[in-house]
Amino acid sequence: MLLLGLIVCGGTLGYSAIEGWDTWDAFYMTVISVTTVGYREVHPLSRAGEAFTVVVVTVGVATVLYTFSFLMARIVEGDLQERWTRRRRERMLDQLDHHFIVCGFGRMGHIIAREFSRQQVPFVIIERDPDRMQEAIDAGYLAVEADASSEQVLRRIGIDRARGLIAAVSTDAENVYAVLTARLLRPDLFIIGRAETDDARTKLERAGADRVLSPYQIGGLQLAQTALRPAVVDFVQLATSSDNLELNMEQVRIAEGAALAGRTIVDANLRQRYGIIVVGIQRADGQMEFNPAPELVMHPGDHLVVLGRADNLRELEQAAGVERSRTPAGR
């Protein structure tokens, strides 16, 4: 396309210089020569103009045929579609904000991505295996084929704008490296690591993970709790399930200068005004207070663990000064 444009520009300038035509006549003569439409000359040509026309026709026709065959080949082979898809993915990466970075698309990654997609939480997947990466793309998720421990890759997917990172790669060593790299790039980033062994749990914590979870430990505890207290487990699953539209359990952070900051639970009248139940308060220093007394003061930086309807929770978030940015996940 660039070569074709240069030939048209060169022909226009050549006719203007050799024959002294105006720009439009020179451009028109170049186009009808290159496309071989067979119209007559705009003006009678001199011998030098005829020689120049031979050059324009020879080079121009060859370029047009090459350009046409090139574009058709790319369309048939799907190269253009691949380029457009790649550029679209690049634009989506640039637009990501307040998102999660999911490292790994194995069994755990599938579950995480499905849950984030259900709750319309923006996220991006990093996967080294090309087949798994393609599987994530086919599922409609935003994914890149790269090493999760690469600083360049983490910067490219917007770690400086990310909400959190989940290291769920299949090996503990890769998770440790991913957590360590992310912590060095973002000291304030919320990071969750997956650990297969107790030794890996210690290493992940030292690398900078805020939370370290073991799928085997969680699965074992879930089985035990289901056997001992099935009603309690059913209630928790009902409250935390994204499929439940009537009841949700959520955490709401009290922002600085919010209407709820500095007020007690009873003064804020949370139960009557918003129709929610305060299950607990996590203080800014990490201390958790369950079933808080009505006289407890809510401070900026505290997280309220509440239970209520989705619309009531949105009203509470506005009073707490929270702006939840949710966009279609990975779409």
| Single-letter residue type at 267 | D
Please compute, for residue 170, the number of CA atoms within 13 A of its CA located in the half-sphere on the CB side: 8
Q: What is the pLDDT of residue 246?
A: 63
* Residues of the chain below pLDDT 50: 324-331
Q: Identify the DSSP state of 16.
A: H
Per-residue pLDDT of 215-259, as tens digits, reads: 888 888 888 988 988 888 887 777 666 565 567 788 888 988 888
Q: How many CB atoms lie within 10 A of CB 280?
A: 14
Q: Identify the DSSP state of 265.
A: H
Q: What is the pLDDT of residue 99?
A: 93
Q: Which domains does the chain have, with CATH numbers?
A: 2-77 (1.10.287.70), 96-219 (3.40.50.720), 246-319 (3.30.70.1450)
pTM for this model (two decimals): 0.62
Q: What is the pLDDT of residue 36?
A: 78
Q: What is the pLDDT of residue 181?
A: 94
Please compute, for residue 18, the number of CA atoms within 13 A of its CA located in the half-sphere on the CB side: 20
